[in-house]
Amino acid sequence: MEPKDTFFSKKRSIKCKGEIFDLSEPKIMGILNVTPDSFFDGGRYKSLEDIQNHVNEMIIEGCDILDIGAYSSRPGAEMITEKEELNRLIPVLELIKKQFPDIIISVDTFRSGIAKHVVTHFNVDIINDISSGDMDKDMFQTIAELNVPYIMMHMKGTPQTMYQNPEYKNVVKEVMEYFSQKVQQLKLIGVSDFIIDPGFGFGKTIEHNYQLLNHLKDFRIFEIPVLVGLSRKSMIFKTLNTTPEESLNGTSVLNTLALLGGANILRVHDIKEAKETIKLVNKFSNAFVDDWYD
């Protein structure tokens, strides 16, 4: 019996580092926040040596993409200048490009100027934009000119306002309509390598988040890779009445559901556990019984 042609098993890929980056098996994006105020690991890596040791550990554990963020997007985060964001990024990028030249690097920024600088000067491979161009009108055209893969995320509001009673008539329908418009805009200017991120926790209540997760398979209609970022978020620890530090088990549970829903990339703090989750879900998904009806 042939395996079913499900969304989970279909081939997905983007062009990265001049080569095809195959997403037919889900990949792990490791989070590296070089901020003092991110919700889970802000201020944890106080020196370049700390950062080097942490990145080395993530790569050993199976990190496929390293996502570097220098602007905290936690609810109510302080707005910093473009200069400050770049000052945080430059020494880290210099270190990683020297010590880990083969790792695929994504920079988490909504600013087109930052995107242009890091791609031009550091050959950053992917731009990860929490606002899908909504916070910088020049971002889409900049991505088209840079010709790098682009991750676009749905967020209602900004990091400063997104937690203020977000409302939707139908969150799944509205997020899908949002991406439909964005995909069309990008295709019209020649961008072909992009990834969508439903934006769990960004301008959504806990109920909205679980509705999106429950309907993740609906995003197959775009035939575009899907990134999911659930790691240690409030939809876990508020539901369980715990803390981000106690949310690793919950993260693995929700990552399992996301993989079964078709996620191609897991954005996580904990690489080893995500790697194990992918391995087990792959085993489950490929466990077809040929003689079931014999």
Domain spans in the chain, listed from the N-terminal domain onward: 25-285
pLDDT at 23 over 70: yes
Distances (CA, A) of 80 to 61, 72, 120, 156, 172: 32, 9, 22, 20, 31
Taking the C-alpha atoms of residue 8 and residue 80, their distance in angstroms, rounded to an integer, is 39
Tell me how far CA of residue 75 lies from CA of 72, 120, 159, 228, in angstroms. 9, 31, 5, 18
3-class secondary structure, 109:
coil
Q: Which residue did the predictor score with more confidence, 94 or 42?
A: 94
Structure tokens at 124: 């950053």
- Edge-to-edge strands, sheet with 126-129: 194-197, 150-153, 126-129, 104-108, 65-69, 27-33, 265-268, 227-228
Catalytic residue list contains 83: no
> What is the bridge-based pairing of β-strands 65-69 and 104-108?
parallel
CB 202 within 8 A of CB 156: yes
Report which DSSP code applies to 78.
Answer: P
Question: Exposed (0-12), middle (13-18) or buried (19+): which is 139, by Cβ within 10 Å?
Answer: buried
- Number of H-type helices and E-type strands within the chain: 9, 10
The model's confidence at residue 289, banded by pLDDT at 50, 70 and 90, is low
Choose the catalytic residue: 15, 187, 267, 275. Answer: 267
pLDDT at 182: 97
Does the structure show a pLDDT above 60 at 37? no
pLDDT tier, 293 (very low <50, low <70, confident <90, very high otherwise): low
* Cβ neighbours around 78 below 10 Å, total: 12
Catalytic entry in 17, 46, 233, 238: 233
Percent of the chain residues topping a pLDDT of 70: 87
pLDDT grade for 115, boundaries at 50, 70 and 90? very high
User: CATH classification of 25-285 is 1.10.10.10, yes or no?
Assistant: no
Long-range contacts of 241-247 (CB under 8 A, 24+ apart): 244/39, 244/40, 245/40
Is 88 a known active-site residue?
A: no
> Which residues make Cβ contacts (< 8 Å) with residue 279, sequence separation at least 6?
none
